[in-house]
Structure 1
Amino acid sequence: MEFSGTVLETGTDVSTVKEGDRAIGIRNFNCMVEECITDQKDLWQIPEKVSLQEAAVLPITCGTAIFALEHRAHSQPGLAWEGRIVVVGFAGGNIASVPANRLLLKNVSAMGLYCD
Structure 2
Amino acid sequence: MNKYFSVLVLSFVLVSCGKYIKQDGHASYYAGKFIGRKTANGETFSKHKKTAASKTLPFGTMVKVTNLSNGKSVKVRINDRGPFVKGRDIDLSWKAAKKIGMLDQGVAPVELKYRIQKK
Q: Same fold (TM over 0.5)?
A: no
Bigger Rg over Cα: 1
| TM-score, L = length of structure 2 | 0.23
Q: Could you tell me the TM-score, scaled by structure 1's length?
A: 0.23
Q: Which has the higher strand share?
A: 2
Q: Going by fraction, where is helix more abundant, 1 or 2?
A: 1
